[in-house]
Amino acid sequence: MTTQTFDIAIIGAGIAGASAAAELAKTHSVALLEREDFPGYHSTGRSAALFSEIYGNAAVRALSRASRDFFYAPPRGFAEHPLVRKRGALHIASAQQMRSLDDFAANADLASSIRRITREEALGACSILRPDYVAAAVIEDDAADVDVHALHQAYLRQFRNLGGTLMVDAQARGLSHRAGEWHIDTGAGIVRAPMIVNAAGAWADAVAKSAGTAPLFIQPCRRTAVLVELPPNVRGEGWPMVIDIDETFYMKPDAGLLLISPADETPTDPCDVQAEEIDVATAIDRIEHVTNLRIRRVRKRWAGLRSFAPDRSPVIGFDAVLPGFFWLAGQGGYGIQTAPAAARLAASLLRDGAVPDEIAGIYLSQLSPQRFGIGAAKRSGT
Ligand SMILES: Cc1cc2nc3c(=O)[nH]c(=O)nc-3n(C[C@H](O)[C@H](O)[C@H](O)COP(=O)(O)OP(=O)(O)OC[C@H]3O[C@@H](n4cnc5c(N)ncnc54)[C@H](O)[C@@H]3O)c2cc1C
């Protein structure tokens, strides 16, 4: 059995692990371990690919805003094509949902990113919306489509160009800490490193348990996406993404088709999750209720896991108990749009704790794994 030694070993090569690996490889020798045959098989390859500065709680929004410049002006040579394309996100309300829309529009932290538009403007922006359904709307003009594949591949390319080592088919099975180093058994060999990063997505708690620390109750939740055909005479490419103000559905044009979702959030054990018939039917039913579409053909359906910590903020920082054990998990439904800032933050904390200016305004205590009393209580046996 071979043994290889690195400064840092990262477990999981989705967008979280890949982006952190690309940052850390500038200064450290890094191994990136992925259990599957190729990186991006799980949540990263299954997203709706939206960048929205108003989505998620305050901690998420801060990370998204700190990621914005990277998406619009990535470092020279990072990616061959633009990473984002503006689409806009239209949040609609029925007459019964006016209160939700008013509360949303009154949130001071969202004010500079959204504007109220008239009902007629909303109907004009997306021609299939039913006039008797839409009562009011708010638009985020700057919301954008992300080329997730290009972003992920660009991070992996940067990582390799900087001398990083990607290992696929390399599941971190046993983790033990001996003489100041972590030993990770991958089945095919041992990887040794003084620091490890837990970027295992839905499996973050499982990895923590196998390393000997308490889980943080990061809950994977299933979300379903369905690609349906539009009638031949309907062209949707210029529509914004349309989101129900209470997030019970959304829809978004996607390469001549329409991506729809019932915005489900079903707690699930970590697994290679599949779309359930009931969720596909619910998506179709909700979209047919708010539009004049009759959906005849489904081209593709899938589901992915969005994994949330109890307070729905990401978990970025060193474990309270285990030496050199770093969490980069709990990205929920925002792991793509927050990845650039989250990766820079993680890299700076792992290096020397000096946080770069553009993310200095983010409250680290809201992201630290040490914010959870639950884990601490379990560890101390109280
Ligand atoms: C339907 C849907 C829509 C979404 N829409 C958006 C959106 O519009 N915008 C947005 O920002 N986010 C969105 N998200 C969320 C986003 O996809 C996730 O937050 C993000 O992909 C999480 O990335 P990750 O790297 O943490 O997880 P993953 O991509 O799941 O990567 C974790 C990796 O760790 C590996 N792993 C696990 N255990 C081990 C082990 N023991 N050893 C080695 N490897 C291991 C897994 O194989 C996996 O590849 C959406 C998600 C879904 C499902």
pLDDT at 358: 75
Q: Which two tokens stand for residue 255?
A: 């390469």
Does residue 16 surpass a pLDDT of 80? yes
What does the alpha-carbon distance between residue 284 and residue 249 come to, in Å, rounded to a whole number? 10
375 falls in which pLDDT band (50, 70, 90)?
Answer: low
State the distance from the centre of ligand 1 to the C-alpha of 170, rounded, in angstroms. Answer: 17
Does residue 380 surpass a pLDDT of 60? no
Section 57-83 average pLDDT: 95
Does residue 330 surpass a pLDDT of 50? yes
Instruction: Judge if 205 and 315 occupy the same domain.
Output: yes
pLDDT at 361: 74
Q: Which two tokens stand for residue 142?
A: 């700057």
What does the alpha-carbon distance between residue 48 and residue 304 come to, in Å, rounded to a whole number? 10
What does the alpha-carbon distance between residue 12 and residue 186 come to, in Å, rounded to a whole number? 12
Contact 171, 183 (CB under 8 A): no
State the distance from the centre of ligand 1 to the C-alpha of 317, rounded, in angstroms. Answer: 18
Count of structural domains, the chain: 2
Angle between helices 148-161 and 339-351 (to 10 degrees): 30
State the distance from the centre of ligand 1 to the C-alpha of 128, rounded, in angstroms. Answer: 32
pLDDT at 378: 52
pLDDT at 377: 41
State the distance from the centre of ligand 1 to the C-alpha of 329, rounded, in angstroms. Answer: 9
Name the closest-CA residue to atom 50, ligand 1. Answer: 47
Contacts 24+ apart (CB under 8 A), 371-379: 371/311, 372/216, 372/217, 372/309, 372/310, 374/214, 374/216, 374/217, 374/310, 375/213, 375/214, 375/215, 375/216, 375/320, 376/320, 378/214, 379/213, 379/214, 379/320, 379/321
pLDDT at 188: 86
pLDDT at 354: 82
Name the closest-CA residue to atom 14, ligand 1. Answer: 333
Instruction: Judge if 316 and 213 occupy the same domain.
Output: yes
What does the alpha-carbon distance between residue 47 and residue 35 come to, in Å, rounded to a whole number? 20
- Give whole-number Cα distances, 273 to 12, 262, 264, 299, 368, in Å: 17, 16, 13, 19, 28
Whole-model pTM over 0.85: yes
Pick the last residue of a domain from 250, 276, 308.
Answer: 308
State the distance from the centre of ligand 1 to the C-alpha of 67, rounded, in angstroms. Answer: 18
Pick the last residue of a domain from 273, 308, 343.
Answer: 308
State the distance from the centre of ligand 1 to the C-alpha of 159, rounded, in angstroms. Answer: 18
Contact 218, 335 (CB under 8 A): no
Instruction: Judge if 208 and 105 occupy the same domain.
Output: no
User: Is 368 inside a domain boundary?
Assistant: yes
User: Is 72 inside a domain boundary?
Assistant: no
pLDDT above 70 covers a percentage of the chain that reads 97
Counting from 1 in the atom list of ligand 1, the atom nearest the Cα of 225 is 1
Starting at the earlier edge strand, list the strands of the sheet with 165-167.
Answer: 165-167, 30-33, 8-11, 195-198, 325-329, 315-318
Name the closest-CA residue to atom 10, ligand 1. Answer: 334
Does residue 237 surpass a pLDDT of 90? yes
Counting from 1 in the atom list of ligand 1, the atom nearest the Cα of 261 is 1
Of the candidates 281, 293, 375, the one whose C-alpha atom is nearest the C-alpha of residue 330 is: 375
pLDDT at 75: 96
Instruction: Judge if 297 and 236 occupy the same domain.
Output: yes
Name the closest-CA residue to atom 18, ligand 1. Answer: 335
User: Is 76 inside a domain boundary?
Assistant: no
In whole angstroms, what separates CA 216 from the centre of its chain? 18
Whole-number CA gyration radius for the chain: 21
User: Is 295 inside a domain boundary?
Assistant: yes
Does residue 136 surpass a pLDDT of 60? yes
Pick the last residue of a domain from 308, 338, 365.
Answer: 308
State the distance from the centre of ligand 1 to the C-alpha of 305, rounded, in angstroms. Answer: 7
pLDDT above 90 covers a percentage of the chain that reads 92
Does residue 154 surpass a pLDDT of 80? yes
Give the range of the structural domain holding residue 169, as residue numbers without chain letter.
Answer: 2-50+148-218+311-380
What does the alpha-carbon distance between residue 321 and residue 324 come to, in Å, rounded to a whole number? 9
- Ligand 1 lining (C-beta closer than 6 Å): 11-17, 33-36, 41-44, 46-50, 171-172, 199-203, 207, 223, 225, 304, 306, 331-337
- Give whole-number Cα distances, 140 to 50, 119, 216, 257, 333, in Å: 12, 15, 33, 22, 18
Residues 6+ away with beta carbon under 8 Å from 382: none
Section 3-28 average pLDDT: 98
What does the alpha-carbon distance between residue 36 and residue 46 come to, in Å, rounded to a whole number? 15
Name the closest-CA residue to atom 22, ligand 1. Answer: 335
Contact 350, 326 (CB under 8 A): yes
What does the alpha-carbon distance between residue 201 and residue 307 come to, in Å, rounded to a whole number? 7
95 falls in which pLDDT band (50, 70, 90)?
Answer: very high
Instruction: Judge if 226 and 351 occupy the same domain.
Output: no
CATH of the domain at 366: 3.50.50.60
Instruction: Judge if 277 and 163 occupy the same domain.
Output: no
Contact 338, 67 (CB under 8 A): yes
Does residue 299 surpass a pLDDT of 90? yes
Name the closest-CA residue to atom 53, ligand 1. Answer: 304
